[in-house]
């Protein structure tokens, strides 16, 4: 899979791309992630990418020209273009699953007070990562990239994400590691029993219990994406 991210703050991605699972996925060629500075595509002599909004009242607005040119340059017939915006569809695990099967994604990060409305026409999907407003789409694009990359076959053990929270409308079951007794809090006996069928049953029950107390909405709506 290939992911191209369009941003005016490429430096924000440095730590993200050089750490942990994302770093390994890139090194092992499971994914090719490229960060593109939108300024590079500006036709303005001073490489301007934003200007005052018509009608006044708002701050700087991202101009369409550099973003249209960047998408024209990077897009092919297999590309899905995603626009980061708090006005988009709320991001959920089922969208991550769908996107992890795509061949090529372009993620456009908006910034400052917004982007020119005409940029919307470029997007196949507009995504919001939640009902709050960030200073820009960069963090949102990292959230989306991270959640997609870990689902690509081979990046992490399948077992690790088969039990993820939100699969089957359930939160994940609790897990424990050493020591067996920590400050009087004990690991449940069943997990030490070596009895696989009982462990499986315990985990299913705990996942249901956890979902009932923390996220009953997942059980009520049957909403696959939680």
In the 8-state DSSP scheme, what is residue 128? E
Closer CB to ligand ADE, 86 or 226, in the complex: 86
Active-site residue flag, 58: no
What does the alpha-carbon distance between residue 62 and residue 47 come to, in Å, rounded to a whole number?
A: 12
Q: Is 3 in the site for ligand ADE (CB under 6 A)?
A: no
Active-site residue flag, 150: yes
Catalytic residue among 4, 86, 116, 206: 86
Q: Is 137 in the site for ligand ADE (CB under 6 A)?
A: yes
Residues 63-102 that bind ligand ADE (CB under 6 A): 84-86
Closer CB to ligand ADE, 115 or 202, in the complex: 115
Q: How far is the CB of 119 from ligand ADE (least distance, A)?
A: 13
Active-site residue flag, 164: yes
Active-site residue flag, 159: no
Q: Is 110 in the site for ligand ADE (CB under 6 A)?
A: yes
Longest pairwise C-alpha distance within the chain:
71
Check if the beta carbon of residue 89 is closer than 8 Å to that of residue 95: yes
Q: How far is the CB of 109 from ligand ADE (least distance, A)?
A: 8
What does the alpha-carbon distance between residue 95 and residue 16 come to, in Å, rounded to a whole number?
A: 21
Catalytic residue among 37, 102, 113, 146: 113
Q: Is 59 in the site for ligand ADE (CB under 6 A)?
A: no
Q: Which stretch binds ligand ADE (CB under 6 A): 30-38, 127-135, 188-196, 216-224?
A: 127-135
| C-alpha count within 13 angstroms, C-beta hemisphere, residue 172 | 10
In the 8-state DSSP scheme, what is residue 145? H
Instruction: From residue 22, give the alpha-carbon distance in Å to each of 3, 13, 107, 110, 140.
Output: 12, 11, 16, 23, 15
What does the alpha-carbon distance between residue 36 and residue 165 come to, in Å, rounded to a whole number?
A: 33
CA–CA–CA angle 145, 147, 153 (5° rounding): 95
Q: Is 10 in the site for ligand ADE (CB under 6 A)?
A: no
Catalytic residue among 98, 164, 172, 215: 164
Near ligand ADE by CB under 6 A: residue from 129, 148, 155, 170: 129
What does the alpha-carbon distance between residue 99 and residue 121 come to, in Å, rounded to a whole number?
A: 20
| Closest C-alpha to 112, from 133, 83, 140, 142 | 133
Near ligand ADE by CB under 6 A: residue from 130, 154, 179, 216: 130
Active site residues: 86, 113, 150, 164
Contact set with ligand ADE (CB under 6 A):
84-86, 110, 128-130, 132-134, 136-137, 140
């Amino acid at each position: 899979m290939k992911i191209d991210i369009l941003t005016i703050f490429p430096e924000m991605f440095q730590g993200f791309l050089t750490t942990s699972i994302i770093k390994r996925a890139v090194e092992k060629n499971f994914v090719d992630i490229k960060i593109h500075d939108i300024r590079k595509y500006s036709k303005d002599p001073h490489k301007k990418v934003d200007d005052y909004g018509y009608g006044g009242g708002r701050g700087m607005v991202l101009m369409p020209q550099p973003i249209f040119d960047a998408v024209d340059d990077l897009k092919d017939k297999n590309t899905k273009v995603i626009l980061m915006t708090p006005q988009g569809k709320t991001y959920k695990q089922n969208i991550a699953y769908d996107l992890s099967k795509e061949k090529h994604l372009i993620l456009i990060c908006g910034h400052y007070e917004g982007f020119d409305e005409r940029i919307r026409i470029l997007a196949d999907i507009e995504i919001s990562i939640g009902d709050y407003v960030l200073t820009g789409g960069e963090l949102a694009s990292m959230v989306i990239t991270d959640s997609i990359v870990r689902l690509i076959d081979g990046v992490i053990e399948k077992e690790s994400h088969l039990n993820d929270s939100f699969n089957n409308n359930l939160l994940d079951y609790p897990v424990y590691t050493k020591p067996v007794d920590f400050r009087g809090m004990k690991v449940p006996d069943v997990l030490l029993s070596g009895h696989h069928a009982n462990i499986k049953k315990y985990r299913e029950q705990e996942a249901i219990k956890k979902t009932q107390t923390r996220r009953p909405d997942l059980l009520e709506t049957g909403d696959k994406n939680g």
